[in-house]
Amino acid sequence: MPRGIPISERMRQRMRHRIFGVAARLFLKQGYHRTSMRQVAEAARMGKSTLYDYFHNKEEILLYFVEQEMDISHQEAIQIATLNLPAEEKLRRILRSLWTYLDTNREMAVLTARESAKLGERATQRMAFQREKYRKLLEGVIRQGIQEGDFRLVNPTLAASALHSMMTMPFYDWLRQQGHEDVTETADELIDLFLGGIKTHSHI
């Protein structure tokens, strides 16, 4: 897009998504650190200065994926949380949904988990904000279970934090490396382990 010609936010987001797709293929093929912004621009068939209109550096491209990943999983979790279902079933569906997404995007998610720790403070704060939104959603579902009498009276903030710690890419990837190939089965097994500590005796 030539400079000086305004574009809509929708067109801008479509272009950012296209650039990310090009960059992701380069990251996975030759490595994140071996990929330059010039190579991304060439692969995207645009000038380097035009690329900088959408992403200032490689870290921003990586952060784009992280935020997209978090936003998609959070929106899906919100939809599940609003369903007329018992809290236990909501937790199962949320974990299945998250891990299915990670399974579909495993290579890029592994790369992002490895490199995102090296991003700057501003990026770290943005990711922390997204993670906190997700944790609060889990806390709301656990509070529902307590109110319904299915979960015993526990600290919902602590319980949500404990569950959230199991919903990370490094942990998911470790499970896959141990031979857990069925993401739905593994998610259910983990929820069973988690709920074993918060379900009332009448449900054990």
Residue ranges covered by each domain of the chain = 9-56, 62-203
Look at residues 148, 139, 135 and name the one whose alpha carbon lies nearest to residue 200.
148
Q: Return the structure tokens found at 95.
A: 């974990």
Q: The whole model's pTM is what?
A: 0.77
| Alpha carbon distance 160, 164 (integer Å) | 6
Looking at domain 9-56, which of 1.10.10.10, 2.60.40.420, 1.10.510.10, 1.10.10.60 is its CATH number? 1.10.10.60
Q: Rg of the Cα trace of the chain?
A: 20
The number of residues making up the chain comes to 204
CATH H-level, domain 62-203: superfamily: Tetracycline Repressor, domain 2 (1.10.357.10)
Q: What is the pLDDT along the chain (204 residues), one digit of tens a residue?
A: 445 556 788 888 899 989 988 998 999 899 888 999 999 999 999 999 999 999 999 888 888 888 888 888 889 999 999 999 999 999 999 988 888 888 888 888 888 878 877 777 777 887 788 889 999 999 999 999 999 999 988 899 999 998 888 877 777 778 777 877 777 788 888 888 888 765 665 544
Q: Return the structure tokens found at 48.
A: 């380097």
Domains 9-56 and 62-203 in one fold:
no
- Cβ atoms within 10 Å of 157's Cβ, excluding its own: 14
